[in-house]
Amino acid sequence: TAGKGEFPGNGRGFWEKLGARAAELKDTLGGLKYAVFGLGDSHYWGKGTEESRINFAKPARELDEMIEKLGGQRLIPTGYGDDQDVDQYHTGFGEWKSQLYSRLGVDKVESGGADDDGPMKSDEVIKIETKQLRGTLKDALDDVTTGQVPFHDTKVIKFHGSYQQDDRDLREERQKLGIENAFSFMIRVRL
C-alpha cells in the first residue's frame, strides 16, 4: 500500500490495465487460481482511526475482489503483513505462505532454505535484463506521483553509483500528514 490506500508504483500499471479490461475479462478467468498477500501499516493514519482501517492493505483487498468478480478462484484467504507487528510482515507472511504451500500440496517439499528467495542473479544477468542498466529508470523518474525509485530499479541505480533512502527523521511527521516518506538520493562521484 502506498499513500492513502493506493497501489504502489510497481503494481499501479497492472491494476490500471486490469481495471481498463475488466468488462472484457468478465467471467473469463474461471481457470485462474490465485492468492493475494497485502502489505501495509495499520497505524499509518493513526492508531485505531477509521482511515487507517479503511486504507490498510486496501490494494490487496481491491485486487482480490476484482479477480474474484472476473471469475478467478481464490486458493486461500488474503493474507496481510503489518508494519506495526513486532517483526513487521514476517509472521503474517510466514503463516500465509504455509497455508498456500499446504493448499498447493508442496508443504512437505524440501527447499533451498527457510529464507530462500530463489537464485541470486549475477550482475551480468541483471545488466542484460535491464537493457544494459537502463531498466525502467526513465519511467520511474517521469512518475510525478512518487518521490522514489521502485524497488526493482534500486539495484540498477546502485550500479550507477546512487543510493535511495528515506529520511527517518521525517517519517513520523509525514505519516501523520498522510504523505509518502521523504526520499533522498546519495550519489558517489570521483573528482
Q: Could you read off the pLDDT of 8-63 as tens digits, one per residue?
A: 888 888 999 999 999 999 888 888 999 999 988 888 777 778 887 888 889 999 99
Give the model's pLDDT for residue 113.
46
Angle between helices 9-20 and 58-69 (to 10 degrees): 30
Compute the Cα dihedral for 145, 158, 170, 49 and give only its sign: positive
pTM: 0.56
Give the model's pLDDT for residue 117.
44
User: Is pLDDT larger for residue 59 or for residue 83?
Assistant: 59
CA atoms within 13 A on the CB side of 164: 18
> Residue 78 above 90 pLDDT?
yes
CA 178 to CA 73: how far, in whole Å? 34
Closest CA to 10 of 168, 160, 140: 140
pLDDT digits (tens, 9 = 90+) for 103-143: 888 866 554 444 444 456 666 777 777 777 777 777 877 88
CA atoms within 13 A on the CB side of 151: 3
> Residue 145 above 90 pLDDT?
no
Asked whether 60 and 81 are in contact (CB, 8 A), the reply is no
CA 38 to CA 81: how far, in whole Å? 6
Cell match 520511474: residue?
Answer: 140
> Residue 76 above 90 pLDDT?
yes
Q: Where are any strands of DSSP class E within the chain?
A: 33-34, 37-40, 73-74, 79-82, 162-166, 183-187
Question: pLDDT confidence of 80, banded at 50, 70, 90?
Answer: very high
The amino acid that residue 84 corresponds to is: Q
